[in-house]
Amino acid sequence: MPGVEAAGGINILPFTGVHMYGFTRDDRLPHPGDQSMADVRVVEPGYFASVGIRHIAGRELDERDTGGAPPVVTIDEEYARTVFPGEDPIGQRITIEWSGGVESVSYEIVGVVGSVRHGGPASPPSPTVYLHRGHDSSPYWMHFGHTITVRTRGEPLALAQDARNVVWGIDRTVPITEVGPLERVLDRHVAGARYRMLLIGAFALLATLLAAVGIGGIVAYSVAQRGRELGIRQALGAAPGDVVRIVLGEGVRLAVFGVTAGLVLAMFGTRLLRTFLFGVGSADPLTYVAVAVVLAAIALTSAWIPARRAIRVRPADALRSGA
Whether the per-residue pLDDT at 199 is higher than 80: the answer is yes
pLDDT band at 304 (very low <50, low <70, confident <90, very high): confident
Between CA 169 and CA 173, with CA 172 as vertex, the angle to 5 degrees is 150
CA distances to 14, 21, 169, 212 from 158, in Å: 23, 38, 19, 47
For 163, list phi and psi in degrees, rounded to 5. -65, -40
pLDDT of residue 153: 87
Which of the residue ranges 18-27, 39-48, 192-201, 251-260 has the most confident prediction, judged by mean pLDDT? 39-48
% of the chain exceeding 70 in pLDDT: 82
Whether the per-residue pLDDT at 86 is higher than 50: the answer is yes
Mean pLDDT for the stretch of residues 122-144: 78
Pairing state between β 147-152 and 4-10: antiparallel
pLDDT band at 141 (very low <50, low <70, confident <90, very high): low
% of the chain exceeding 90 in pLDDT: 19
User: Among 122, 118, 98, which Cα is nearest to 21's?
Assistant: 98
SS3 of 245, please?
helix
Q: Which residues contact 98 (CB under 8 A, 6 or more apart)?
A: 21, 104, 105, 139
Whether the per-residue pLDDT at 68 is higher than 70: the answer is yes
The maximal CA–CA distance of the chain, rounded, in angstroms, is: 104
Tens-place pLDDT, residues 8-49: 999 888 887 777 878 888 887 665 556 778 888 999 889 999
pLDDT band at 323 (very low <50, low <70, confident <90, very high): very low
pLDDT of residue 30: 60
Assign residue 21 a region (left: φ > 0; alpha: ψ between -120 and 50; beta: otherwise): beta
Whether the per-residue pLDDT at 296 is higher than 60: the answer is yes
Cα–Cα distance between 79 and 92 in angstroms, integer?
13
Whether the per-residue pLDDT at 322 is higher than 70: the answer is no
More confident residue, 141 or 63: 63
pLDDT band at 88 (very low <50, low <70, confident <90, very high): very high
